[in-house]
Amino acid sequence: MRTPLRVRLSLGTAALLVYAFLYLPLLIIFIYAFNSDTITSWPPQQPSLQWFHVLFSDPDPWTALENSVQVAVEATIVAVFLGTAAAFALQRFRFLGREALNFGITLPILLPGIITGVAMTTWFTQLTQWGLPFELSLVTVAIGHATFCIVLVMNNVLARLRRTSRSLEEASMDLGADGWQTFWYVTLPSIRGAIIAGALLAFTLSLDEVIVTFFLIGAQNTLPLWILSHIRQGINFPEIDAIAVVVVSISIPIVLIAQYLAREPAAQRAVPKA
Amino acid sequence: MATYEGALPRAVTARRAVARQVRAHRRLALALVLGPPLIWMAGFYLGPLVYLLLESLWQIQNYNVVQVWTLANYTQIFSEPVWLDVLRRTVVMASLVTLSAIVLALPLAYFLVRYTRRWRHLLYLAVLIPLWSSYLVRVFAWKTILGRDGLLNTFLIGIHVVHQPISALLYSNTAVYITLLQIWLPYMVIPVYAAIERIPPSLYEASSDLGARGWRTILHVVWPLAFPGILAGSIFVFSLSMGDFITPLLMGNGTQFIGNVIADQFGIAYNYPFGAALAILPLIVLTVFLAIARRFGVLEAL
Say if residue A142's pLDDT is above 50.
Answer: yes
Q: Is residue A1 part of a domain?
A: no
Is the predicted pLDDT of residue A241 greater than 90, yes or no? no
Contact with chain A for residue B136, Cβ under 8 A = yes
CB nearest to B30's CB, from A78, A89, A241: A89
In a domain, A205, yes or no: yes
- The Cα–Cα gap between A256 and A249 comes to 11
Query: Which of the two residues, B19 and A126, has the higher pLDDT score?
Result: A126
Give the pLDDT score at B149: 74
Q: Who among B29, B125, B133 is closest to A26 (CB)?
A: B133
> Do residue A123 and residue B51 have CB atoms under 8 angstroms apart?
yes
- pLDDT category of residue A7 using cuts at 50, 70 and 90: confident
Q: Taking CB atoms and an 8 Å limit, are A43 and B142 in contact across chains?
A: no
**In this structure, is residue A105 part of a structural domain?**
yes
pLDDT score, position A162 = 86
Whether the per-residue pLDDT at B299 is higher than 50: the answer is yes
Does residue A3 have a pLDDT over 90? no
d(CA A153, CA B138): 26
> Is residue A45 assigned to a domain?
no
Q: What pLDDT was estimated at residue B87? A: 92
From residue B289, give the alpha-carbon distance in Å to each of A1, A243, B75: 39, 38, 24
The DSSP H or E segment spanning B59 is strand B59-61
User: CB–CB of B47 and A123 under 8 A?
Assistant: yes
Mutate: best of A7, A114, A157, A206, partner B, most B CBs <10 A: A114
pLDDT confidence band for A258 (50 / 70 / 90): confident
Task: Say whether pLDDT at A251 is over 90.
Answer: no
Do B262 and A114 lie within an 8 Å CB cutoff?
yes
Chain B residues 197-236 with a CB less than 8 Å from chain A: 208, 214, 235-236
Residue B101 has pLDDT above 90, yes or no: yes
Give domain status of residue A31, yes or no: no
In a domain, residue A264? The reply is yes
Q: pLDDT at residue B213 above 80?
A: no
Per-residue pLDDT at A274: 35
Set of chain B residues whose Cβ sits within 8 Å of the Cβ of A237: 140, 144
- A123/B29 touch (CB, cutoff 8 Å), yes or no: no
Fold of B80-301: MetI-like fold (1.10.3720)
Count Cβ atoms within 10 A of the Cβ of residue B77 and give its class: 0-12 exposed, 13-18 middle, 19 or more buried. buried
Residue A47: strand pairing partners: A35
CA proximity to A73, closest of A155, A123, A152, A138: A138
Label residue B37 by pLDDT band (50, 70, 90). Answer: very high
The pTM for the full model equals 0.88
Share of chain B above pLDDT 70, in %: 96
CB proximity under 8 Å: B 66-95 to A? none
Query: Which stretch of DSSP H or E encloses residue A142?
Result: helix A138-163
A184 in any annotated domain:
yes
**Confidence band (pLDDT; 50, 70, 90) for B220?**
confident
Q: pLDDT category, A2, cuts 50, 70, 90?
A: low
Distance CA B162, CA B140 (A): 24
ipTM of the complex: 0.86
Report the gap between the CA of B11 and the closest CA in chain A (Å).
20
Q: For residue B45, which residues of chain A lie inside 8 Å, CB to CB?
A: 104, 107-108, 116, 147
Comparing CB atoms, the residue among A11, A85, A119 nearest residue B37 is A85
Residue of A nearest to B270 (CA): A122
**Overall average pLDDT of the A108-127 stretch:** 92
Give the mean pLDDT of A193-207.
89
Other beta carbons within 10 angstroms of residue B273's beta carbon come to 24
CA distance A113 to chain B (A): 7
Give the residue from A146, A79, A105 showing the smallest Cα distance to A97: A105
In a domain, A137, yes or no: yes
**What range defines the domain where residue A236 resides?**
58-269
- The mean predicted confidence, pLDDT, of chain A is 86
Q: How confident is the model at residue A59 (pLDDT cuts 50, 70, 90)?
A: confident
* Chain A positions in Cβ-Cβ contact with residue B240 (cut-off 8 Å): 112
Pick from A24, A106, A248: which is nearest to B134 by CB? A248
The reply to whether residue B299 touches residue A41, judged by beta carbons under 8 angstroms, is: no
B residues 147-186 closer than 8 Å to A (CB) = 147, 149-151, 153-155, 182, 185-186
Total domains, chain A: 1
Q: According to the model, what pLDDT value does residue A269 have? A: 42
**Which of the four pLDDT bands, split at 50, 70 and 90, describes residue B301?**
low
Nearest-CB residue to A114 (from B32, B185, B259) = B259
Q: Are strands B64-66 and B59-61 parallel, antiparallel or unpaired?
A: antiparallel
pLDDT of residue A212: 94
CB contacts, 8 Å: B135 with chain A? 208, 210, 224
Using a CB–CB cutoff of 8 Å, tell me whether B40 touches chain A. Answer: yes
Q: How many Å lie between the alpha carbon of A29 and the closest alpha carbon of chain B?
A: 6
How many Cβ atoms from other residues are within 10 Å of residue B206's Cβ?
13
Look at B245 and A227 and tell me if their CB atoms are within 8 Å: no
Q: Distance from A163 to chain B by nearest Cα, in Å?
A: 15
Instruction: Indicate yes or no: CB of A82 within 8 angstroms of CB of B40.
Output: yes
Mean pLDDT (chain B) is 86
Domain locations in chain B as residue ranges: 2-55, 80-301
Q: Does B58 touch chain A (CB under 8 A)?
A: no
**A120-134, A224-238, A254-268: which is most confident:** A120-134
- Which has more confidence, B265 or B147? B265
**CA dihedral for A248, A249, A252, A258, sign (positive or negative):** negative
Region of residue B73 (phi > 0: left; psi between -120 and 50: alpha; otherwise: beta): alpha
- Output the pLDDT for position A165: 79
pLDDT computed for residue A75 by the predictor: 96
The answer to whether B111 contacts chain A (CB < 8 Å) is: yes
Segment A94-105 shows an average pLDDT of: 88
- pLDDT confidence of residue B60: 84
Longest pairwise C-alpha distance within chain B:
108
Q: Which of A12, A21, A106 sits opposite B182 (nearest CB)?
A: A21
Cα A227 to Cα A241: distance, rounded to the nearest angstrom = 10
What is the CATH number for A245?
A: 1.10.3720.10
Least confident piece of the model among A103-107, A185-189, A199-203, B152-156: B152-156
Evaluate if residue A272 carries a pLDDT over 50: no
- Helices (H), strands (E): how many in chain B? 15, 2
**CA neighbor of A45 nearest in space, from A57, A58, A53, A35:** A35
